[in-house]
Amino acid sequence: MAATNSATVMRTFCLTLLILCCHNVFGQPCLDRAQEIAPPLTRETRREFEAKLTDARKAFETEPTADNLIWVGRRAAYLGHYKQSIKIFTEGV
């Protein structure tokens, strides 16, 4: 079940990232207009993902490396916080 959730979350994240990036291609403010649709997660999976996001944020605060920043952005996206994830990646660049 967890593998299915992870695969679904990753597919959703990648598709959303592609859609949000259309701003650069078509000149449309997609990020502002995009609707975030949270992935279907069980309560247990959501709690696990939230704990891992907290850990990733702490790791980035302790050691602000690119790898740690990427994990913060990924962990936010796994929970369906796609706009927040895009902002994290943008600030990192």
pLDDT tens for each residue of 37-67: 888 999 999 999 999 999 999 999 999 999 9
Per-residue pLDDT reduced to its tens digit, 6-39: 777 777 766 666 666 654 555 556 667 777 888 8
* Distance of alpha carbon 14 from alpha carbon 32, whole angstroms: 18
pTM greater than the 0.85 cutoff: no
Measured CA to CA, the distance from residue 14 to residue 83 in angstroms comes to 13
- C-beta separation of 13 from 82 below 8 A: yes
Amino acid identity for residue 28 in this structure: Q
Alpha-carbon distance of 47 to 61, in angstroms, equals 21
Backbone angles phi, psi at 27, to 5 degrees: 70, 20
pLDDT score for 79: 95
